[in-house]
């Protein structure tokens, strides 16, 4: 899978969303998250991010990025009024922006440009 790192927080350029052939890049409140169960690893999103927030998990090697596991955590979120986690909803166009972030992302300092 590919992951979106901290550089996306409070910026949310969204150029990546248009590129994804399976529409698996979901918008949270402060950041976007790639669904690791839906991403087909095509890599189309990676070069279009203006702040290079997107990387392949294969490039991480020893350099562990907490956003790797945090993406999966986001999709385990149970939204208010729901009983099931977000899971793999089959496309970000269907869900629209999701009013949630992970604890990790919420804890990051304000990066509003």
Of the candidates 106, 29, 36, the residue with the CA atom closest to the CA atom of residue 75: 36
Q: How far is the CB of 18 from ligand F3S (least distance, A)?
A: 9
Can residue 8 be called a binding residue for ligand F3S (CB under 6 A)? Answer: yes
The stretch among 9-17, 59-67, 74-82, 103-111 that binds ligand F3S (CB under 6 A) is 9-17
Q: Using the Cα atoms of residue 100, residue 101, residue 102 and residue 108 in order, give the sign of their dihedral.
A: negative
Within 1-113, strands assigned E span 2-4, 25-27, 32-34, 54-56
- How many residues in the shown chain lie near ligand F3S by CB under 6 A? 27
Closest to ligand F3S by CB, 73 or 83: 73
Closest to ligand F3S by CB, 60 or 78: 60
Beta bridge partners of 3: 55
């Amino acid at each position: 899978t590919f992951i979106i790192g901290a550089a996306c927080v409070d910026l949310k350029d969204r150029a990546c969303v248009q590129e994804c052939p399976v529409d698996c890049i979901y918008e949270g409140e402060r950041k976007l998250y790639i669904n690791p169960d839906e991403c087909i690893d095509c890599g189309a999103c990676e070069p279009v991010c203006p702040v290079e927030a997107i990387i392949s998990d294969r490039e991480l090697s020893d350099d562990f990025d907490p956003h790797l596991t945090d993406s999966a955590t986001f999709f385990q979120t149970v939204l208010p009024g729901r009983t099931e986690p977000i899971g793999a909803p089959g496309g970000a166009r269907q869900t629209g922006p999701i009013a949630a972030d992970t604890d990790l992302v919420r804890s990051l300092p304000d990066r509003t440009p």
